[in-house]
Structure 1
Amino acid sequence: MMKITEIAFTCYPVTDLSRARRFYEEVLGLKESRFFGTGDTGFVEYDIGPGTLAIGNMAPDWKPSPGGGSVGLEVEDFEAAVARLRSSGCTFRLEPLETPVCHMAVVSDPDGNSITIHRRKPG
């Protein structure tokens, strides 16, 4: 039996790496940890806590999809994060909502991939 110990990384396909980097680095505020490739073709990794979020365009058959998976990014201040996303012109696929355990919203990156902004409630 295989034993999974953690999620090593989540990766999204993108079509325009420079445009995607502007979103992930300028809008979301992520800092590049590693880059593999050359120029506008490659994979960019962003370490977040013990995990890694990556974006890339090196696999020609790997296409962005709004109906695919979604990474959930935990934020310190949910309201400030939503305000930042709105002021940056992000498209909300799911408007901010409150559940019994969290606050969440889903936005699209420039390629239509879904990004969940999330804040757990105390306890």
Structure 2
Amino acid sequence: MGATTESIVTGVDFVTVPTRDLERAVAFYGDVLGLTRSAYRPERNFAEFETGTVTLNVMDPVNMGIGAFANANNIALHVDDVAAARATLEERGVQFGGPTFDTGVCHMAFFADPDGNPLLLHHRYASRD
């Protein structure tokens, strides 16, 4: 069932990913995950990485003066093959929180960035119906 009110939201521009160590986070998102860095402003305490559908804004909230916070929700990173992507990340030192999960419509593999922000590799292989 859809909304009955006309939406004023037209998309998601970025998702904030807090860090306590910008350089470590930049290395993780750029070198380990292999995401394209589109902005890097260490003097402003942030960097941005492109996923193809949404920008990840990696920022140091304490040094920005807005206080510490952490993400509680997973960011699902789309991959074409969860097993292959997981194997690559494991070779790069990423530790996963258990085996790859098969929901019956998608595969998911859960892990975290160096700050503990929850991430997962995701691939839908069947229709939502």
Which residue of the other structure, out of 62, 87, 94, is the alignment partner of 1:90?
A: 94
**Equivalenced residues, count:** 119
Where structure 1 has 5 or more consecutive residues not aligned to the other structure, the ranges are none
Calculate the TM-score normalised by the size of structure 2.
0.81
Percent identity between the two aligned chains = 34
Bigger strand fraction = 1
How far, CA to CA, are the matches of 1:50 and 1:86 in structure 2?
24
The 5 Å alignment of 1:1-123 reads 3-38=8-43, 42-57=45-60, 58-60=63-65, 61-65=67-71, 68-123=72-127
Q: TM-score, normalised by structure 1?
A: 0.84
Larger proportion of helix = 2
Counterpart secondary structure, 1:33: strand
Greater radius of gyration (CA) = 2
Paired residue secondary structure (2:37): coil
- Output the aligned Cα RMSD: 1.9
After superposing on structure 2, the runs of 4+ consecutive aligned residues of structure 1 that deviate more than 6 Å are none
- Unmatched segments (≥5 aa) in structure 2: none
